[in-house]
Amino acid sequence: MTDKPIFVTQPFLPPLDEFTPYLEEIWDSKILTNGGHMHQRFERALCDYLKVEHISLFNNGTIALLAALQELRVTGEVITTPYSFVATSHSLLWKGVKPVFVDIDPCTFNLDPARVEAAITPQTTAIMPVHCYGNPCDIEAIQFIADTYNLKIIYDAAHAFGVESGGESILNAGDLSVLSFHATKVFTTFEGGAVVCADAKSKKRLDYIKNFGFENDVSVVSPGINGKMSEINAAMGLLQLKYIDQIIARRKEIDLIYREQLSGIKGVNIPRGQLGVVDNYSYFPILVEGDFRMTRDALHEMLVENNIYTRRYFYPLISEFSMYRGLPSSASSNLPNATDISRKILCLPIYPALSNDEVLHVVDMIRGC
């Protein structure tokens, strides 16, 4: 057992003295929120780094999802995945929209486009796919379906910061893409999120939505919410951007060690990445198959007992929680791949401060159990 706990992820925190000048600037300006200088600089810097046209910052990814649904006036039914964090479908319930779950591809863990098309009804107005673990969805197939049936697409891209496919940011896909900058993400502002959009009019409407709908100090033009990112969070984002390439490079090194060291262990299946994809190495999932020496849950418990805090991410499925269980689309018979994957998945620790020795210790614990 290691004395030092090893978690699935830890945020990268730059040296505190590098944050001090940002704080001094905020203190001097006396502007703490409401789209101050840090907020504006951060939006521009993100657009440049992510190769997107427009970004509207939010205080977290969940509020950003709600704002995206509000901006597109989504109603009725939305086809989405059961294999995600609950914020994906919770945002639909909060908007009075019915989630319709369809099964995932067993290789990418993303929505299966064929299942998406089969689930469309006259009440369907949108598709909300998730780039699971930052692995791009079948963007072209989903877009073809949306165009054919006149549906909106909101991508939950919480895991997909900086991910590119074919030289293009996947955040440009669909009508809107939503990012999370939570402390568990590759890129963090402590708490935060953003909506990526293709045109200035959409950004302006999103900016109204996150500020109670105010157009100016005497005019409210939409039923908005308080979703503004603070200046301190924006400053943290600006500082993180200085290190993000270094952060992703270190995560890639850890990914390679895991792949080399875990290959050949009977019953441990490592999902493959997609060709032509610039990854961000946000997670390192493995599948614990039936021919491994113990069950997935037993392996998880053994690692936790040894201070290695892996996550069964995503287990249970969203569709198995009480508020969703009664939906016809939640039946396990409708979701065989998602059900199977959720009972095998285990995400191993991966973050920049994780040493090579600690990575090898995790591997040794799995190999020797």
Q: How confident is the model at residue 29 (pLDDT cuts 50, 70, 90)?
A: very high
Task: Report d(CA 38, CA 22) in Å as an integer.
Answer: 8
| Residues in CB range of 152: below 8 A, 6 or more apart | 72, 74, 125, 126, 127, 146, 174, 175
Task: Report d(CA 270, CA 268) in Å as an integer.
Answer: 7
Instruction: For the domain covering 244-368, report its CATH number.
Output: 3.90.1150.10
Angle at CA 148, nearest 5°, toward 144 and 151? 90
Task: Report d(CA 210, CA 284) in Å as an integer.
Answer: 34
The predicted pLDDT at position 159 comes to 98
**In the predicted model, what is the mean pLDDT of residues 84-103?**
98
Q: How confident is the model at residue 1 (pLDDT cuts 50, 70, 90)?
A: low
Check whether 2 has a pLDDT greater than 70.
Answer: no
**In the predicted model, what is the mean pLDDT of residues 289-305?**
97
**In the predicted model, what is the mean pLDDT of residues 204-233?**
96
Q: Which of 156, 6, 167 is nearest to 90 (CA)?
A: 156
**In the predicted model, what is the mean pLDDT of residues 78-88?**
98
**In the predicted model, what is the mean pLDDT of residues 212-236?**
96
**In the predicted model, what is the mean pLDDT of residues 201-217?**
97
The predicted pLDDT at position 166 comes to 93
**In the predicted model, what is the mean pLDDT of residues 210-231?**
96
Check whether 12 has a pLDDT greater than 70.
Answer: yes
328-340 CB burial, b ≥16 within 10 A, e <16: ebbeeebbebbbe
Q: pLDDT tens, 228-246?
A: 999 999 999 999 999 999 9
- 156 - beta bridge partners? 130, 178
The predicted pLDDT at position 369 comes to 75
Going by the DSSP 8-state scheme, the letter that residue 104 receives in this structure is: B
Instruction: For the domain covering 16-103+110-239, report its CATH number.
Output: 3.40.640.10
Higher pLDDT, residue 369 or 204 = 204
Check whether 344 has a pLDDT greater than 90.
Answer: yes
Domain boundaries of the chain, sorted by first residue: 16-103+110-239, 244-368
How far, in Å, are 128, 186, 289, 302, 332 from residue 182 at the CA level?
Answer: 20, 9, 31, 28, 30
The predicted pLDDT at position 49 comes to 98
Q: pLDDT tens, 271-295?
A: 998 989 999 999 999 999 999 999 9
Q: pLDDT tens, 139-167?
A: 999 999 999 999 999 999 999 999 999 99
Percent of the chain with pLDDT over 70: 99
The predicted pLDDT at position 3 comes to 77
Check whether 97 has a pLDDT greater than 90.
Answer: yes
Mean pLDDT over each residue of the chain, to the nearest integer: 97
**In the predicted model, what is the mean pLDDT of residues 49-71?**
98
Instruction: Note whether 16-103+110-239 and 244-368 share their fold.
Output: no
